[in-house]
Amino acid sequence: MSLHRFISGCRFASLLGVLALVGCATDPQPRPDSGQADSQVPAEGQPIETRDVPARALTLFEQAVAAMASGDSIDAELRFQEFLLQYPEYASAHVNLAIIFTARGDDQAAEKSLADALAVSPDYPQALNQLGMLLRRQGKFQEAEAAYLKAVTARPNYALAHYNLGVLNDLYLQRLDVALSHYERYQELTDADKQVSRWIADLKRRITATQRSANVTE
């Protein structure tokens, strides 16, 4: 097995959320959360919180988020649905439902919730990022890229969307230069991620090797 295929295999497994991967000399999972208030982004599967929920509704929303974070998806779903019956205009609740449905493998319900979120807020970055992940899993890579790009246009410091653009261009679209730029932007927005640093180094080597091969054949 070539080094490139070995590294890419580890990267792909990490993308799928494997927490412990025997044989890959990498950190078990990327950490797409900077912990900084201005650039904090939720990891895949984590609840999205919001600051614009009115005080009278905040308790119900927080209870739903807490249930989701604890892994009680049934309770979380019921609480988000109850919240949305009263406050359907808050896109973050729709996105959280989409995350719950995605974890269950119900892409149809997830897509409906994301459509509801984007109907409320067409440029909502978290909804666009989740839509990009859904489209990527369906093999719709160009549509996924468009969703991710719209997310980073709406919020240029949205680190997880840059991460996902890096993965999409690296593993699926084979645009190494574009992947590198998004991985590097992700690194700028977060604490140094050792795993992504390795991916960046690998991409730079591959790009250099490709350029050398092109020069030789000219």
pLDDT reported for residue 156: 96
pLDDT reported for residue 54: 73
Q: Please tell me the pTM assigned to this model.
A: 0.77
pLDDT digits (tens, 9 = 90+) for 54-73: 777 788 899 999 999 999 99
What is the CATH code for 3-25+56-217? Answer: 1.25.40.10
pLDDT digits (tens, 9 = 90+) for 136-158: 999 999 999 999 999 999 999 99
- For the chain, give every domain's residue range: 3-25+56-217
- Give yes or no for residue 6 having a pLDDT over 60: no
pLDDT reported for residue 66: 95
Q: Which residue has the higher pLDDT, 26 or 85?
A: 85
Q: What is the mean pLDDT of residues 88-105?
A: 95
Average pLDDT score, the chain: 80
pLDDT reported for residue 191: 79
Secondary structure in 3-state letters for the chain: CCHHHHHHHHHHHHHCCCCCCCCCCCCCCCCCCCCCCCCCCCCCCCCCCCCCCCHHHHHHHHHHHHHHHCCCHHHHHHHHHHHHHHCCCCHHHHHHHHHHHHHHCCHHHHHHHHHHHHHHCCCCHHHHHHHHHHHHHCCCHHHHHHHHHHHHHHCCCCHHHHHHHHHHHHHHCCCHHHHHHHHHHHHHHCCCCHHHHHHHHHHHHHHHHHHHHHHHHC
